[in-house]
Structure 1
Amino acid sequence: MYKKFCVLLEISGKSAYQVSKDTGVSTATLSNWKQGNYSPKTDKLKLLADYFGVTVDYFLS
């Protein structure tokens, strides 16, 4: 999931900090996903999917 998030960051030219600020998904949460400490919850995926204009399935596939 985090690799796909990184691709979207690159395409959009946004930083993880900016996405965190815009969506309310904390940078700590994003870091935990990156480190594989836990998987994102559906509500957070929905926020990110809406923000980037993709579906939740994009992250899950």
Structure 2
Amino acid sequence: MGFTVAIRRAVRSGRSDGVPIEDLGVGGIPYDMTRDDVLRGNRDLLAFCADVLARQPGGG
């Protein structure tokens, strides 16, 4: 099984140059990265995402 993820980063310009713009991306599902995420290729993050997707209607 694999995942494809599209990521977009938007930043401000001018006086606020480089400051991220709020409220972009998928909100409402917080996740704190773990040691295994950092050292072992996002192992826990992928399991978390698979679980979230499996609980969606038609996902399991």
Give the structure-2-normalised TM-score: 0.26
Higher RCO, 1 vs 2 (CA within 8 Å, ≥6 residues apart): 1
Higher helix share: 1
Which of these two proteins has the greater Rg computed from alpha carbons?
2
Give the structure-1-normalised TM-score: 0.25
